[in-house]
Amino acid sequence: MDFELTEENRIFQNAIRDFAQKEVAPLVDEAEETNVFPKQLFRKMGAQGFLCPRYPAEIGGGGGDKITECIMVEELNRVNAGIAASLMAQSGLATQPIYNYGSDEQKKEILIPAIKGEKIGAFGLTEPNSGSDAASIKTRAVRDAESYIINGTKIFITNGPICDYVIVAAYTDPTKRGVGINLFIVEKGTPGFSVSRKLDKVGNRSIETGELVFEDCRVPANKMIGEKEGGGFAQIAETLLSGRITYGARCTGTAQAAYDLTVLYAKDRVQFGKPIIKFQATKFKLAEMAMHIDIMRSYTYRVAWMYDNGKNVRKEAPMVKLFTSEILQKILADSMQIHGGYGYMMEYPIQRYWRDGRLFTITEGTSEIQRLIIGRELGF
């Protein structure tokens, strides 16, 4: 057994940590305030192979693996969860279906520019009346000669307002629940495709999240991902499975940042004549946080390693998402508590991690849905 990052992993970790401090951190306040994503980061990260670190270097990726992607996600989340989410979507949801199932043409026209940060991607599954029950989507793609005509609405779409293309889930055969779904690539500027709203969120304010509408949106048939009608649900499931491991790194990075801020604050804040870190109640909370963060990180990287080694992670990936996002809520609550009244003030950064992290038990499959999947995998 070897629980250490490799030398290559360490070099990558130092490089991305340095990048996050120098290139991302200075952009956070303005992005949070304006709710406008600093789009220049896509090209900057793409140029260094940081944007999509697990795809081969020959197509612009970092030439790494799932562990490398987790390192990238953990480091970016330590700095800002919103910006990290936008970039995570690019390295996972918005590229993986094309990487795994796309045609050579789709890879050349969409995937490679996306990996290089020249095109921004989004992934549209959720609809106003279809969230956890993804198979209940109403978006339709109807074949018409050499095209498909897409009609439907997608909501809560990360990068939606700024995307150059979106991978859209739609039924080609609505009589077959789940299996009659396909994924289509719809590019910005396609008649019938519009961003109807940019959504105003409680946290993760630096990502742009939107509602997308498809009204008689005609796309060439070769924009369908995969060779035949049906089977898109399996492509979605595979993409989400991988994303659940990445989510462990997202939660770990956020937890680490909250812990670091809290230790600094507790050393500095004096009450009853001594820094509050000297009180046993504070030490107990910090000790528990440190323990949980270590477990979050170890478990995430273990399952990433399993994934990289071709092992079945259908049970472990949702366990990573469930455990890390739930325990993060306790870490954030304790961080806030230790900050006292100042923590509740917008001028202290802990409130941002607290607002941002609240999302993590909800998106990419709620905790209840992770429990359902784990139960199913356990055979219940």
Ligand X SMILES: Cc1cc2nc3c(=O)[nH]c(=O)nc-3n(C[C@H](O)[C@H](O)[C@H](O)COP(=O)(O)OP(=O)(O)OC[C@H]3O[C@@H](n4cnc5c(N)ncnc54)[C@H](O)[C@@H]3O)c2cc1C
Residues with a catalytic annotation lie at 364
- The CB density around residue 167, as the number of other CB atoms within 10 Å, is 28
Q: Which is nearer to ligand X, 20 or 359 (CB)?
A: 359
> What's the distance, CA 18 to chain centroid?
21
Contact between 324 and 298 under an 8 Å Cβ cutoff? The reply is no
Positions in the binding site for ligand X (CB under 6 A): 89, 123-126, 131-132, 156-158, 201, 204, 209, 359, 362-366, 368-369, 372
Q: Which is nearer to ligand X, 289 or 359 (CB)?
A: 359
**Residue nearest ligand X (C-beta atom):** 131
Could you tell me the smallest distance in angstroms from the CB atom of residue 369 to ligand X? Answer: 6
Q: Which is nearer to ligand X, 328 or 338 (CB)?
A: 328
Q: Which is nearer to ligand X, 166 or 266 (CB)?
A: 166
Rounded Cα gap, residues 248 and 322, in angstroms = 9
Instruction: Say what the alpha-carbon torsion angle 285, 290, 296, 297 is, to the nearest 10 degrees.
Output: 160
Could you tell me the smallest distance in angstroms from the CB atom of residue 38 to ligand X? Answer: 18
User: Scanning the structure block, which residue is given the tokens 């809520």?
Assistant: 329
Torsion 10-15-20-26 (CA) sign = positive
Could you tell me the smallest distance in angstroms from the CB atom of residue 166 to ligand X? Answer: 9
Could you tell me the smallest distance in angstroms from the CB atom of residue 217 to ligand X? Answer: 17
- The CB density around residue 335, as the number of other CB atoms within 10 Å, is 28
Query: 54-91: b or e for each residue (b if 16 or more CB lie within 10 Å)?
Result: bbeeeebbbbbbbbbbbbbbbbbbbbbbbbbbbbbbbb
Could you tell me the smallest distance in angstroms from the CB atom of residue 120 to ligand X? Answer: 12
Q: Which is nearer to ligand X, 182 or 262 (CB)?
A: 182
